Amino acid sequence: MRTASAAGLVDLHTHTTASDGDLSPRALVEAAAAAEVTTLAVTDHDTMAGVPEAMEAAAQRAVTLIPAVELSVQVPRGSMHLLGYFAEPAPPQVCRYLEAAGQRRRDRAEEIVARLAALGVPVDFDEVCAQAAGNVGRPHIADALVAAGHCSSRADAFRRYLNDHGPAYVGYEALTPVEAIRLIRDDGGVAVLAHPYSLGVRPGELMSAVQRLAARGLGGIEVHRPEYDAPQRRRYARMAAAFRLLGGGGSDFHGPGRGYALGNTGDPPLPAAAADRLQEALATAAR
Ligand code: AMP
Ligand code: FE
Ligand code: FE
Ligand code: ZN
C-alpha cells in the first residue's frame, strides 16, 4: 500500500451503492480522482461489498484506497457508528460477521413484512429486497409501503407502522461497541468513532464514553467533518489528544448533490499526516 501523497486531499468516510450511496465504487473512485482526493476510504454501512471494485478502480488512478466499513452498534440511546479501517480488502472475521448480520437483517425484514400483511397493508418481500442495494432495513420497507399506496411518505410509514414502538416493529441485535472494537482489532483493523455527536450526550459524558472505549481499544475519533463548527472540532481534537487517539474524519459523502462534497472534510481539512498515521497503525497491526 502506498502512503498518502502530501499533494492531495484525504477523505476517510464515504459511501457507495453497496450501502446507501449514489455512486458505484468505481464511480466514487473516479469522482475522488477528479476532486484531487489521493487517499480515500470506502466506509459503507455494515458491508465491505464495494471494496474490491473500488480497489480495482483505485489501482488505475492516483488514488490510495483504504478498505473500510461503518458498523452500526448497539447503544442504549442515540446512535453509534464505528468505522473500521483495514490493511486488506476482505478481513476474514469481519466479513464473516457482516455476512451473518446481513442474513439476520433479511430474516428480520421478512418478519416485519409478515406483520404488515397481518395488519392489512401487504408489501412484496422480494420487491423490498430488490430496492435494497446493500443491507435491507426499515427505510426500504417504508418505501414499499408508499409504493403500494398504503402510506403517503416514509415518515408516515414510520409513524404508523415501523417506528420502534410501531405495530410492525421487529428488533435487531447489533454488536455492542466493545464487541465491534474487538472484531475490528482482531482482524488487524483500526476502530474510529464516527460523528461522536450522534451519541446525543453532553460533552462531559462524551469525554468519559470515549475514554472508556479508548481503554477497550478504540483507535480514533472523527475530528474533521464538514458539518462541525470550530468549537466542536477543537473539542474532538482535544479528546483525541487526551486519549492518544487518531484524529480521523471525512466528508461522509453519499452522492453528488447530497450532503457535502467528496473531499470536503471541513476547514482546516483532514491533514495528510492523519492518513499516514492510520496507514502506519494498520501496517503495525498486520505484522
Ligand atoms: P433499521 O436499521 O432497519 O432498524 O432502520 C433504521 C433506519 O430507519 C434509521 O437509520 C433511520 O434512517 C430510519 N428510521 C428509524 N426510525 C425512524 C423514524 N421514527 N422515522 C423515520 N425514519 C426512521
Ligand atoms: Fe449513510
Ligand atoms: Fe454514520
Ligand atoms: Zn457514514
Helix (H), strand (E) at residue 262: none
Atom of ligand 1 minimally distant from the CA of 136: 3
Q: What angle do CA 6, 41, 59 make, to 5 degrees?
A: 75
User: Is the minimum distance from the CB of 74 to ligand 1 under 6 angstroms?
Assistant: no
User: Is the minimum distance from the CB of 163 to ligand 1 under 6 angstroms?
Assistant: yes
Q: Which ligand is nearest to the CA of 194?
A: 3
Instruction: Collect residues with CB below 5 Å from ion ligand 4.
Output: 70, 252
- The alpha carbon torsion through 88, 93, 99, 105 (nearest 10 deg) reads -120
User: Is the minimum distance from the CB of 139 to ligand 1 under 6 angstroms?
Assistant: yes
Q: Is the distance from CB of 140 to CB of 154 less than 8 angstroms?
A: no
Mutate to test the pocket of ligand 1, among 70, 77, 138, 161 (most ligand atoms within 8 A of CB): 138
**pTM, entire model:** 0.93
Could you read off the pLDDT tens digit of each residue along the chain, which spans 287 residues?
A: 444 445 799 999 999 999 999 999 999 999 999 999 999 999 999 999 999 999 999 999 999 999 999 999 999 888 999 999 999 999 999 999 999 999 999 999 999 999 999 999 999 999 999 888 788 999 999 999 999 999 999 999 999 999 999 999 999 889 999 999 999 999 999 999 999 999 999 989 999 999 999 999 999 999 999 999 999 999 999 999 999 999 999 999 999 999 999 999 999 999 999 999 999 999 988 65
The phi-psi region of residue 99 (left if phi > 0; otherwise alpha if psi is between -120 and 50; otherwise beta) is alpha
User: Is the minimum distance from the CB of 137 to ligand 1 under 6 angstroms?
Assistant: yes
Cell output for 147? 409504493
How far is the centre of ligand 3, averaged over its atoms, from the C-alpha of 194 (Å)?
6
How far is the centre of ligand 2, averaged over its atoms, from the C-alpha of 12 (Å)?
14
CA distance 253 to 256: 8
pLDDT value at residue 2: 46
Atom of ligand 1 minimally distant from the CA of 140: 3
Nearest CA to ligand 1 atom 13: 139
Cell output for 218? 478504540
pLDDT value at residue 287: 59
How far is the centre of ligand 2, averaged over its atoms, from the C-alpha of 166 (Å)?
23
Atom of ligand 1 minimally distant from the CA of 79: 10
Which residue stretches of the chain are H helix? 25-34, 51-59, 92-118, 125-131, 138-147, 154-157, 177-186, 203-215, 230-242, 272-286
Task: Please tell me the number of Cα atoms within 13 Å of 203 on its side-chain side.
Answer: 9
User: Is the minimum distance from the CB of 172 to ligand 1 under 6 angstroms?
Assistant: yes
